[in-house]
């Protein structure tokens, strides 16, 4: 017989007092004076119960065990009911205390276990729900401006640094601003449908087309503003060209216009040379070759010496007095220069890109290089 240590010694001794009389053969206090028989139920109870309680893993499991070991049908309850049969008050008292001690002990074990399981459950819920705030956020893929936009921004910045203001104009333009106000005669080939994309809207001066250059903003701006004028105009332009290595039907220009009371060709050369040195490097050489544009007189092409060769980059000239007349400026009192360059072409020369179609390549491996 193994007595669990938590049964008070004196209670055990009391419990062992022989001569208990009982009529039942039930499991509780023994039916006979046989000591070991009488001990069995409580001994059984105290032997297994602590381990069973300890092994419970859920509250539900523990509830079942609790009912079995201290509930109304438990051996403990039965033993209590049997107490009345013990005639000797001393013996009954001792027995009652022993049973009670067992009940209190088991109940406190159950309560402790219940607390432990609850803590366990809370902890595992917390662990399952845990947000690891130390985890690095997902960094979205970083985009970048297209190389053309980067080039436009850089060019505009240089002119802004020289005191110019950036303005923008409509892509769908009228015949008047795109051609007439710029002194381009009705018969000029650039007006042909083979060169210009018309929108089939409006007639005569009001006929609407996709602007073939950014020069219309010269006229629009002067109409709306008093001199002096110092503007740069970046934007998309359109021409009826098939796509090949040197042509796209949509490309980008940056227009420039300076009008003041004493502007000379020397100002034009100085300004464009300064721009070129800022854009390509301080020792870059430029040269001006006579050319023809209806809206400038005289006109020139500026060539830049870069990467071992001369490249034609900028169309320019002194504003034609006819243009001043179209916009209501006095050609006697004012003079100015204008220039226009292709942004796509500037980007290609700058970055050694040889095929213009690269500019419309949507392949991410191409685009990623613009970062």
Binding site for ligand PHE (CB under 6 A): 213, 215, 255, 293, 296, 315-317, 338-340
Of 86 and 318, CB closest to ligand PHE: 318
We find the least distance from the C-beta atom of residue 290 to ligand PHE, in angstroms, to be 12
The two tokens of residue 260 are 């003041």
Question: What kind and span of H or E run contains 162?
Answer: none
Of 110 and 152, CB closest to ligand PHE: 152
Strand order from edge to edge, sheet including 296-306: 165-166, 229-238, 250-260, 335-342, 309-319, 296-306, 285-293
We find the least distance from the C-beta atom of residue 274 to ligand PHE, in angstroms, to be 17
Of 222 and 316, CB closest to ligand PHE: 316
We find the least distance from the C-beta atom of residue 218 to ligand PHE, in angstroms, to be 7
We find the least distance from the C-beta atom of residue 136 to ligand PHE, in angstroms, to be 50
Of 234 and 317, CB closest to ligand PHE: 317
Beta-sheet pairing, 165-166 with 229-238: parallel
Of 15 and 293, CB closest to ligand PHE: 293
We find the least distance from the C-beta atom of residue 217 to ligand PHE, in angstroms, to be 10
Q: Select the residue whose beta carbon is closest to ligand PHE and give its number.
A: 340
On whether the CB atoms of residues 331 and 324 are closer than 8 A, the answer is yes
Of 15 and 288, CB closest to ligand PHE: 288
CA distances from 119 to 115, 123, 176, 239, 339 (A): 6, 6, 84, 77, 80
Of 11 and 338, CB closest to ligand PHE: 338
Angle at 247 between CA 186 and CA 171, to 5 degrees: 55
On whether the CB atoms of residues 314 and 337 are closer than 8 A, the answer is no
We find the least distance from the C-beta atom of residue 317 to ligand PHE, in angstroms, to be 5
Q: Tell me the DSSP string of 255-292.
A: EEEEEETT--HHHHHHHHHHHHHHHH-TT-EEEEEEEE
Rounded distance between C-alpha atoms, residue 125 and residue 301, angstroms: 77
We find the least distance from the C-beta atom of residue 342 to ligand PHE, in angstroms, to be 8
On whether the CB atoms of residues 204 and 214 are closer than 8 A, the answer is no
Closest to 294 measured CA to CA, from 269, 260, 322, 264: 322
């Amino acid at each position: 017989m193994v007595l669990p240590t938590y049964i008070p010694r004196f209670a055990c001794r009391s419990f062992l007092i022989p001569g208990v009389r009982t009529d039942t053969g039930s499991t509780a206090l023994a039916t006979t004076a046989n000591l070991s028989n009488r001990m069995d139920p409580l001994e059984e109870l105290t032997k297994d119960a602590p381990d069973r309680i300890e092994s419970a893993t859920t509250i539900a499991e523990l509830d079942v065990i609790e009912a079995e070991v201290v509930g109304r049908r438990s051996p403990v309850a039965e033993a209590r009911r049997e107490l009345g049969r013990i005639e000797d008050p001393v013996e009954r008292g001792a027995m009652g205390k022993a049973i009670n001690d067992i009940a209190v002990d088991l109940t406190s074990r159950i309560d402790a276990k219940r607390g432990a399981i609850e803590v366990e459950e809370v902890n595992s819920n917390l662990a399952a729900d845990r947000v690891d705030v130390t985890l690095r956020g997902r960094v979205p893929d970083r985009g970048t401006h297209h190389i053309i936009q980067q080039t436009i921004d850089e060019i505009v910045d240089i002119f802004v640094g020289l005191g110019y203001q950036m303005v923008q104009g409509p892509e769908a333009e009228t015949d008047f601003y795109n051609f007439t106000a710029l002194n381009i005669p009705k018969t000029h080939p650039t007006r042909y449908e083979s060169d210009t994309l018309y929108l089939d809207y409006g007639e005569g001066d009001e006929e609407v087309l996709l602007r073939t250059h950014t020069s219309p903003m010269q006229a629009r701006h002067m109409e709306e503003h008093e001199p002096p004028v110092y503007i740069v105009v970046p934007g998309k332009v359109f021409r009826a060209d098939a796509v090949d290595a040197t042509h796209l039907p949509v490309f980008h220009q940056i227009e420039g216009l300076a009008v003041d009371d004493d502007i000379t060709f020397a100002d034009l050369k100085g300004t464009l040379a300064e721009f070129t040195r800022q854009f390509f490097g301080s020792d870059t050489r430029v040269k001006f070759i006579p050319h023809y544009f209806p809206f400038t007189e005289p006109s020139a092409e500026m060539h830049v010496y870069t990467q071992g060769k001369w490249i034609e980059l900028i169309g320019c000239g002194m504003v034609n007095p006819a243009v001043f007349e179209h916009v209501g400026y006095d050609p006697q009192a004012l003079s100015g220069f204008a220039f226009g360059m292709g942004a796509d072409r500037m980007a290609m020369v700058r970055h050694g890109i040889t095929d213009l179609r690269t500019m419309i390549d949507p392949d991410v491996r191409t685009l990623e290089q613009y970062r």
